[in-house]
Amino acid sequence: MRTFPHLGFHKPLTFNLHRTDASLWTSIQIHVLLPERRARIGRSCVMAVNRRQYLNVDARNSEAMSHLSPLAGKTLSSSQLTDIPALIAAYYDRKPDPAVSTQRVSFGTSGHRGSSLHTSFNENHILAICEAICRHRKAEGIDGPLFIGMDSHALSGPAQKSAIEVFAAHGIDVRIDEHGGYTPTPVISHAILTYNKGRTTGLADGVVITPSHNPPADGGFKYNPTNGGPADTAITKAIQDMANDFLANGLKDIKRLPYEQARQEACIKGYDFITPYVNDLDSVIDMKAIRDAGVKIGIDPLGGAAVAYWKPIIDRYGLNATVVSDVVDPTFSFMTADWDGQIRMDCSSPYAMARLIEMGDRFDVAFANDTDADRHGIVAMPDGLMNPNHYLAVAISYLFQNRPNWSSELGVGKTLVSSGLIDRVAAEMGRKLVEVPVGLKWFVPGLMDGSLGFGGEESAGATFLRRDGSVWTTDKDGLILSLLAAEITAKTGKNPSAHYHEIIARLGTPYYERIDAAANPEQKAKLSKLTPEQFPLETLAGDKNISKLTRAPGNDAPIGGLKVVTENGWFAARPSGTEDVYKIYAESFVSPEHLRAIQQEAQDAISKVFAA
């Protein structure tokens, strides 16, 4: 028996443990003996507090995930925080060895990420990446401004300096925050699109320096081309390969100016990112409705890049909103630790969000964003912190019924591993569902040409069109998804949590979870190349298979794995790009027991494929 006073549970909780296989996480079902406190943490979290059904965290290994850290939901002591001077010293002092795979430039779905302490995010990496971006721009004829955004991670500042040294040496017209502050991912996308509107030459692009919600010791660097969205795989592979060639030849082909000289170059300009973005928000959100209804709003920027944006938004639109904390600290000492005792600015995690959850009943609706503000976390009673899939379903249902200037032909975009509840919501409204592989980049063409009204991922990232049906951003925007929760509350008199319960009363309750299972490189390669015919099962958990997919139905792009769908559930299996595991996403519309049956049968069948 354990207690969780930091989450509002001061009486013991009972644990039922189920292990289905040594390579699966232990299932921990938690039954709260104090029902009146359930709202503090959320219904889904009550059902499975440390498994993927609620948390959207990157599992490190099965053993770790089977044990909840005693630090989860608590602030850490000073001795447990990141040593910022050592982190920054390592950025400059450690030199990556391109012969070591973990020290090479590696662009995943969200750019290059790593830590200077692991020699995976260091000065040489950024110099090489920026030189590659300069050459990509020249090859593609991109000669407009390059907008730079960054978040509040400690490594973001040094990385921006390195970037300016290279960009200035190439004479690129760079725009950085005029006050030396932080600029969120969606603001960079918005700046690129608004600058490029109506232009055919002199187009802008951008970079964002952020590792998203990752721990304080991490850094990240991503490139957004002229469409404003995440770069596609052809671009990122070209940049990655070129950067690794520069590392291999000792950076001898890189142009660079000393930082102080670079900062004085006429091509490096300060720019007001805040005003254009804030003033334009009324084109995508009904800000007047929020103001007139007097919705009481709580906002936690989690010490991230949006920290300087919320006060101008509140003042500009006269909102009844409170920023519960505007503290910025590179150690993120104000954060409560995630499930494993690490600090993450993950606005999907009830442990990281413990502070705002505890304040939840003070507001009609409350929300937070991760460090680069491309994700959202919505706190609405009675559920507390809403499961991201649940809120996406609510947002889609509301938007497509409350945007009269949107075309009746607009589709709903979702990734293959997002909840099937979205499919049901789209079908109920008679809207086309566009299902794509993981990554917001797949929604960019539809958002640009106006065929998609909404694009969202299960990891609490999404964007949608302006009220007139034109493009807003082509990257995830946590600010507008947060403000949409306030608009929903203002215009319907019910918060998103209440809307979710109305939806599942009509369409069924989803039980969703992600688990990781062991797989060696050979097995992962086999899974990524699997054909539907190679998957042996014709039924899943007692239901006939409706489809077996290895290509996304929305755009025919390879999914790098397999998805099997039945009338009452589905699973998708994909190899991890960084660990010796494969990921099984699964969902049941029957029961938690049916979900476990889907997971078990999926893993058994994939094990047979591996053995074949």
Annotate 397-434 with DSSP letters as a single string: HHHTTS-TTS-TT-EEEEETTS-HHHHHHHHHHTPPEE
The range of the structural domain enclosing residue 144 comes to: 94-272
| In a shared domain, residues 299 and 368 | yes
The arrangement of strands across the sheet holding 27-32 comes to 2-4, 9-18, 27-32
Q: Measured between alpha carbons, how far is 59 from 61 in angstroms, rounded to an integer?
A: 6
Give yes or no: residues 488 and 378 share one domain. Answer: yes
Confidence at residue 537, expressed as pLDDT on a 0 to 100 scale: 86
**Does 412 lie in the same domain as 329?**
yes
Please tell me the predicted confidence (pLDDT) of residue 390: 97
Cβ neighbours around 474 below 10 Å, total: 27
In whole angstroms, what is the distance from residue 491 CA to residue 514 CA? 34
The C-alpha atoms of residue 86 and residue 8 are separated, in whole angstroms, by: 36
Q: Is residue 88 part of a domain?
A: no
For all residues of the chain together, what is the average pLDDT?
89
76 is a domain residue: no
CATH code assigned at 605: 3.30.310.50
| Assigned domain for 75 exists | no
Which positions ≥6 away from 177 have C-beta within 8 Å? 183, 270, 271, 273
| 248 shares its domain with 284 | no
Instruction: Please tell me the predicted confidence (pLDDT) of residue 60.
Output: 32
Which amino acid, one-letter code, is at 596? R
Q: Confirm whether 73 is domain-assigned.
A: no
Q: Is 576 a catalytic residue?
A: no
Here the tokens at position 213 are 């919600």
Domain edge (last residue) among 475, 490, 507: 507
Is residue 86 included in any domain, yes or no? Answer: no
220: in domain = yes
Say whether both 240 and 321 belong to one domain: no
pLDDT tens, position by position, 302-330: 999 999 999 999 999 999 999 999 999 99
Please check whether residues 529 and 582 belong to one and the same domain.
Answer: yes
pLDDT reported for residue 578? 65
Which of 369, 330, 302, 350 minimizes the C-alpha distance to 219? Answer: 330
Q: Which of 230, 251, 272 is the last residue in one of the domains?
A: 272
For residues 432 and 411, is the Cβ–Cβ distance under 8 A? yes
For the stretch 563-600, pLDDT in tens is 999 999 999 999 987 678 899 999 999 999 999 999 99
pTM reported for the whole predicted model: 0.89
Q: Tell me if 403 is assigned to some domain.
A: yes
User: Residue 428 maps to which CATH number?
Assistant: 3.40.120.10
Position 158: which residue type?
A: P
pLDDT in tens, 454-487: 999 999 999 999 999 999 999 999 999 999 999 9
Query: Of 448, 473, 507, which closes a domain?
Result: 507
For residue range 287-300, what is the model confidence (pLDDT) as tens digits? 999 999 999 999 99
Same domain, 285 and 391: yes
Residues 266 and 293 in one domain: no
Asked if residue 307 and residue 255 are part of one domain, the reply reads: no
> Is the domain of 115 the same as that of 169?
yes
In this structure, are strands 581-588 and 569-575 parallel, antiparallel, or unpaired? antiparallel
Residues 108 and 219 both lie in one domain: yes
Residue 579 confidence (pLDDT): 73
Cα(480)–Cα(610) distance, integer angstroms: 43
pLDDT of residue 14: 34
Q: What is the pLDDT of residues 523-548, one digit of tens each?
A: 999 999 988 988 888 999 999 999 99
Sign of the torsion formed by the C-alpha atoms of 409, 410, 415 and 420: negative
Phi, psi torsion values for 572, nearest 5 degrees: -135, 140
Q: Which two tokens stand for residue 121?
A: 């995010």
Longest C-alpha distance within the chain, in Å?
69
Long-range contacts of 520-527 (CB under 8 A, 24+ apart): 520/580, 521/580, 523/575, 523/582, 523/610, 524/575, 524/576, 524/580, 524/582, 525/575, 526/609, 526/610, 527/561, 527/562, 527/573, 527/574, 527/575, 527/582, 527/606, 527/609, 527/610
Answer whether residue 431 is part of any domain: yes
> Is the Cβ–Cβ distance between 54 and 30 less than 8 Å?
no
Q: How many domains does the chain have?
A: 4
Name the active-site residue from 27, 62, 115, 212.
212
Same domain membership, residue 375 and residue 248: no
d(CA 583, CA 593): 20
For the stretch 231-250, pLDDT in tens is 999 999 999 999 999 999 99
Residue 110: per-residue pLDDT: 73
Task: Give the chain's residues under pLDDT 70.
Answer: 1-66, 578
SS3 234: helix
